[in-house]
Amino acid sequence: MKLFVQHARVLKPGFTLDPETAESIPRIARTVAGIPLAIELAASRLRMLSPAEIDRRLEQSFRLLRRKDRDTNPHHQTLDQAIDWSYKMLSNEQQLLFRRLSVFRGSFTMEATAALHETEDDLELLETLGELLNKSMVQRSTAGTPEISRYVVLEPLRQFAEARTDAAELRQARDDHAEYFAGYAENVAQLLRGPNQINWLKDVRADDANLVAAITHAVDAGRPDPTRRISAALLRFWLAERQLVEINGHLAAALAMEGGAPVPRAYALISHAFAVCTLEPNRSEETLALVREGNKMFCECGMGVGVGQARIHEGIVLWNHRELDAAASSPSQRWLRPVRPGAPGAPLRRGCAG
């Protein structure tokens, strides 16, 4: 913020902070990840635009950060050219990994990186990522917990890398990203119920943007399973994080698609029912129909844990709609009794997304 104001006062003597600029300028600095050249280029637009207008335009594209002064060093004429100069100093292997990292949103782990990189040699991947760190194309991140190292590609660099990735390569990287986070969501859903729940919550929050990006890509690409798997596995996490409306919209979109494996669809059906009965309690018939369709699919697949989950969801839906007599006589009661405090063998402990 201080650097932006310094440049602003050179360009516009008498420039002062007011309530509007005091809100816009910090957002500009965060958007350009605090990169001094980017801040300078953004401030240069004050000749034509207000800070609020610069802020809005940067949210859409970094093309605003261009400068074509003849006396400026060529590779510093634009932020894009400055990054390009650094990019050309990378080896082919480093460039490939850097481009693929553009599919991440926010920070990411080494394990997630390995899912996108075509090598079975962990040491080779470690060295390639290390070179990107040494050359400041990737940064260490403080997100998540100290036990798991995380990295981040600053947003201007991420947009540059994405623009340098051809359509086929980008589609494959996004497919791999979605598949990885589908598996991650199902695994971490179990850990969120365990003794280290607090730490895992921090790590899931650190990956929230990646999870939403994976869901969004899967829907856009017509691949329903990753969206169904992620949304169903972490539905209660997003309920606690107050993101239920957005995630339920993705679930509905994934369920509207044809195809996909039956088990992810069944979990998505009962999760969608849970979300709908939470958000719109008057839709009892629809939510019960969703739960019972999911239960039928679990039965057809011979998946007892899924049947238990569906019946528990049915009991929750009936109870939410104050259909207490129906809830009391529902088959869900057989599954709900063992989860009372002190009762052994609770089905929920067997691990099941949704």
Q: Within 45-166, where are the H helices?
A: 51-60, 79-87, 92-100, 110-116, 122-134, 155-163
Distance (Å, whole) CA 4 – CA 18: 14
Fold assignment, 166-350: 1.25.40
Angle at 72 between CA 67 and CA 73, to 5 degrees: 115
Give the 3-state secondary structure of 205-218. Answer: HHCHHHHHHHHHHH
Q: pLDDT tens digits, the chain, 354 residues: what are they?
A: 676 767 666 666 767 777 777 778 787 777 776 667 677 777 777 777 877 887 777 766 566 665 555 444 444 456 677 788 889 989 999 999 999 999 999 999 999 999 998 777 788 899 999 999 988 889 899 888 888 999 999 888 898 899 999 999 999 999 999 999 999 999 998 888 878 888 888 999 999 999 999 999 999 999 999 999 999 999 888 888 878 898 889 899 999 998 999 999 999 999 999 898 888 878 878 888 999 999 999 999 998 888 888 888 887 777 776 655 555 555 545 544 444 444 333 333 333 333
- All CATH 1.25.40 domain ranges of the chain, comma separated, are 166-350
The sign of the dihedral angle between the CA atoms of 256, 260, 265, 267 is: negative
Q: How far apart are CA 128 and CA 124, in angstroms?
A: 6
Phi-psi region of 106 (alpha: psi -120 to 50; beta: other; left: phi over 0): left
Instruction: Dihedral sign for Cα 283, 289, 181, 257, please.
Output: negative
How many other C-beta atoms lie within 10 A of the C-beta of residue 289?
A: 13
Relative orientation angle of helices 224-233 and 167-191, to the nearest 10 degrees: 30
